[in-house]
Amino acid sequence: MPTHPLTLLEPRLRSLLPAMLYASVWVEPIPERLIQVFEHLRTLRRMLGDYVPRFVAETPPTPGIARSAWQEGTLMFTDLAGFTSLMDAHGDAQATDQVLNVLNTYFAQMVEIISKSGGNLLEWTGDAMLVQFPADGERNHTALAVRAGLRMQRAMSQFHQLTTPQGIISLGMRIGLHRGRFIAADIGTPKRMEYVLLGEAVQITKYAEGAGEVGRVCLSQAAQQAIAGLYRCEPLADGYALVCDDLAEQTLGEYDIAPTKRRQAGGFLLDRSVEALVREIEEMLTAIEPLASFLPLSVLRLLVETAAQRKVPPQWLQLPVIYMNLSGISDAPEYLDPAEEPLLITAYSRIFALINAAVETTGGMLKNVTYDKSGSNILIHFGVTGAHVDDALRAAQTALTIQRLVEQSPALTFRQYQQRIGCKIGLAYGPAFAAEIGEPRGRREFNLLGDVVNTAARLMAAAELGQILLEPGLQQLIHTQLRCVDLGTIGLKGKANPTPIFSLHPAE
């Protein structure tokens, strides 16, 4: 029998083609089918480029090869106030479209302002965003960030009076800015990469957001110094300050630069012979694979199967969530010699790869890694793209495995720095909204939002180093298989009444 034209490429195509297209081109590898494969891959490449930060999309790394670089600029962190009320007011499947419409209207407008103002969206953390305004040697990037923040706050006026089934609610936003240096790194394995940030500049940016007020732009001391004399500011405690938006519309202006165009996803097919089409498919695979490695496998499969519609269906779910904090790595760059930085990135890559493997082994999804005030936060959930009847138990067992992996990790030892890697974990079970958010044809991502995520995060914050805390909903589902110790009640932010909590331990 003749050799199939895609025999050599088939292993690379398995995870990147929808099931029906994969079968049809394998059964009938005629030019028409090969063209369909190419067009699907071109669409997928464009989608994946929108799912990662601009730097990754424009200069993709070699999957599995860790890389890092110091970057300078002004960082912006935004947080949406009132989102929990919005979710509670639409907390059922019938309200899916209304919630998604509000979210995408909000994110699309904010991302557009960020892009046109010279910013680069680095990461989402639920309804929060971390943005970089890079130093280019020509313009005051802090001033660009301030103007973007003021434009964003003005755009929030349309969200101040939203009609919901539970009445009128209001959404607001806090914005924090800091000017400084941080390390951006790509870590992981060829199967799963992650873009992470390290350094105290990110930490200070989040402190600036927390020190601010809804509807205002808050500056760190370094950011204030960079725009001295350009804007009037109101001083706050601990050296922070709020920008006064007393600018006329024409003074603020519309945008600072033209919209940034992300890399195009391929050209035209001039030669439609089988041999030429196979070469084009191979080139497209080479461009796609580095980007695909930055997505969880389950999200990648979801995008592959819905690429033709270019829309991921939103859904309400009941599921378990792990929210963990990994300490000892993110703040280390300030203490290292430049020659030691690759050792730190290698250590980070190792522990991330092991944690992701533990999650995938039990059918979970490691959503992403974000920088928090006390290290790196990692969101993990179960049952979004493939539910199991025992997802709660799987989540609890995964948390215990991660706890053990971190405890067994070697200490970080450098010339002026020695630190053990630690973790603390929160576990919760409850309703969540899973959807693709952002610009419909621009920067976006598949996200999980809801009170269950907030509860898990607050349990994590209340935990001691090395401890796993969980709430009653999850404890009821697993207490016959694993040991859960009653710790009484504590007050959690956003909860009207004290919350009973339990610590999780392996079965005796």
Strand partners, 445: 437
Whether residue 265 is predicted with pLDDT greater than 60 in this model: the reply is: no
Task: Please state the three-class secondary structure of 400-468 as a single string.
Answer: HHHHHHHHCCCCEECCCCEECCEEEEEEEEEEEEEEEEECCCCCEEEEEECHHHHHHHHHHHHCCCCCE
Whether residue 133 is predicted with pLDDT greater than 60 in this model: the reply is: yes
Strand partners, 163: 168
Q: Which two tokens stand for residue 467?
A: 């401890």
Q: Over the stretch 5-41, which tens digit does the pLDDT of each residue have? A: 999 999 999 999 999 999 999 999 999 999 999 999 9
Q: Over the stretch 234-256, which tens digit does the pLDDT of each residue have? A: 999 899 999 999 887 767 776 67
Task: Please state the three-class secondary structure of 147-211 as a single string.
Answer: HHHHHHHHHHHHHCCEEECCEEECCEEEEEEEEEEEEEEEEECCCCEEEEEECHHHHHHHHHHHH
Whether residue 102 is predicted with pLDDT greater than 70 in this model: the reply is: yes
Q: Which of 11-20, 81-90, 424-433 has the lowest mean pLDDT?
A: 81-90
Question: What average pLDDT score do residues 410-419 get?
Answer: 85
- The DSSP letter of residue 237 is G
Q: Which two tokens stand for residue 258?
A: 């033209």
- Pairing status of strand 444-449 against strand 422-438: antiparallel
CB-count burial class (<10 Å; 0-12, 13-18, 19+) for 473: middle
Q: Kindly report the pTM of this predicted structure.
A: 0.91
Give DSSP secondary structure letters for 241-280.
EEEP----HHHH-S-SSPPPPPPP--------SHHHHHHH
HSE-CB for 306 with a 13 A CA cutoff: 17
CA distance 393 to 477: 7
Q: Over the stretch 350-405, which tens digit does the pLDDT of each residue have? A: 999 999 999 999 999 999 898 877 789 999 999 988 889 999 999 999 999 999 99
Q: Of 460, 453, 454, 446, nearest to 399 (Cα)?
A: 460
Q: Which two tokens stand for residue 470?
A: 């969980």
CA distance 55 to 44: 18
Q: Who wins on pLDDT, 82 or 426?
A: 426
Whether residue 260 is predicted with pLDDT greater than 60 in this model: the reply is: no
Contact 314, 96 (CB under 8 A): yes
Binning pLDDT at 50, 70 and 90, where does residue 313 land? Answer: confident
Strand partners, 129: 78, 124
